[in-house]
């Protein structure tokens, strides 16, 4: 692959600002490799990066997008210790992954298992590592009853599965169309909306001991603090408007949140092993060609994909 198309946001706004342009020729520096990208994961942080709003700085434009990829090593720089040309890898966390080719540090890679599809490999790490962080921060284990808000989303499905593996029972909120999928994963699904607290109490096998919010709605936050006595065991990756004032754990990249960098990076090998063994299901809702990135973002911003969206260069 000699071309290197890259996606950039040329302005702040919606998906209409995304363009596919020619990128630079890549020669890997010390400790780095070049990857021919076979698939790039699409995540909410991607469109939030170029969303218009207060504090946007035009000097940052154009913006490259994409934090996780899977592909084949095509060039190796000096001092690379573990990788060689032809190796198939997953790379996270990267910068500018929406591309044909990408230079990354060797240490952000893990080997792709042969039986893990490219699209699933590219959709594993960001959601999976976020899920591990939420469960670690709230100390989920055997005997817990965990309420997951947004159980059918990319992160939510990972939390459901990993909480089950830790021995917890899981109640997950979702639209009715996703309930069969959640049941298949071992969760007890409940529909969000008015009356949620009563529905959770009726459905749960015991008192809710942990709540994890992936959606950030007032309903999710209010339900969590009503049902869980210990606010150290309530975590949110989305409720940054009210979460801090409620005294719950704020996780991820928001203001004042715990980024959990060490926990997330340490989770990579475990996530690959679980996905390769078929224990962890990475559902890919849809794939798009790189040139259709705006369409992928429109679907993602709509809030209802039943799994991961992935770009295929």
E strand or H helix at 38, and its extent?
A: strand 32-42
> Tens of pLDDT along 98-154?
999 999 999 999 999 999 999 999 999 999 999 999 999 999 999 999 999 999 999
pLDDT of residue 125: 97
DSSP assignments along 41-101, one per residue: EE-HHHHHHT---TT--GGGPSEE--S-EEEEEEEE-TT--S--TT-EEEE-S-S--SBSE
Q: What's the half-sphere exposure (Cβ side, CA atoms, 13 Å) at 53?
A: 6
Superfamily (CATH) of domain 129-261: NAD(P)-binding Rossmann-like Domain (3.40.50.720)
Separation CA 156–CA 145 (nearest Å):
15
Q: What are the residues whose beta carbons fall under 8 Å from the beta carbon of 2, sequence distance 6 or more?
A: none
Task: Provide the whole-model pTM.
Answer: 0.94
To the question of domain 5-124+282-312 being in CATH 3.40.50.720, the answer is no
Say what percent of the chain tops pLDDT 90. 93
Q: Residue 2 — pLDDT band, cuts 50, 70, 90?
A: low
Domain boundaries, the chain: 5-124+282-312, 129-261
Please state the rounded mean pLDDT for residues 240-246.
96
> Tens of pLDDT along 276-312?
999 999 999 999 999 999 999 999 998 777 789 999 9
Q: Exposed, middle or buried, 154 (CB in 10 Å: 0-12/13-18/19+)?
A: buried
* Prior bond of 56 cis (ω within 30°): no
């Amino acid at each position: 692959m000699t071309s290197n198309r890259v996606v950039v946001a040329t302005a702040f706004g919606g998906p209409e600002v995304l363009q596919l342009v020619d990128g630079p020729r890549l020669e890997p520096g010390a400790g780095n490799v070049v990857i021919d990208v076979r698939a790039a994961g699409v995540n909410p942080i991607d469109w939030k990066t170029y969303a218009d709003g207060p504090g946007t700085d035009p000097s940052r434009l154009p913006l490259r997008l994409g934090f996780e990829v899977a592909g084949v090593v095509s060039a190796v720089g000096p001092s690379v210790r573990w990788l060689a040309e032809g190796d198939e890898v997953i790379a996270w966390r990267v910068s500018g992954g929406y591309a044909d080719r990408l230079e990354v540090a060797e240490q952000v890679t893990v080997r792709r298992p042969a039986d893990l599809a490219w699209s699933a490999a590219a959709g594993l790490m960001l959601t999976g590592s976020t899920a591990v962080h939420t469960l670690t921060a709230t100390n989920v284990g055997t005997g817990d009853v965990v309420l997951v808000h947004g159980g059918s989303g990319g992160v939510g499905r990972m939390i459901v599965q990993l909480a089950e593996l830790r021995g917890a029972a899981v109640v997950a909120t979702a639209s009715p169309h996703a309930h069969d999928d959640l049941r298949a994963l071992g969760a007890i699904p409940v529909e969000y909306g008015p009356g949620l607290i009563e529905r959770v109490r009726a459905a749960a096998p015991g008192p809710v001991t942990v709540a994890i919010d992936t959606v950030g709605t007032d309903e999710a936050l209010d339900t969590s603090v009503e049902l869980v006595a210990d606010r150290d065991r309530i975590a949110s990756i989305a409720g940054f408007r009210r979460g801090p004032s409620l005294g719950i754990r704020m996780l991820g990249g928001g203001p004042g949140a715990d980024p959990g960098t060490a926990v997330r990076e340490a989770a990579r090998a475990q996530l690959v092993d679980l996905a390769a063994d078929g224990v962890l299901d990475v559902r890919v809702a849809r794939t798009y060609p790189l040139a259709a990135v705006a369409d992928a973002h429109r679907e993602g911003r709509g809030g209802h994909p039943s799994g991961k969206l992935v770009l295929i260069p």
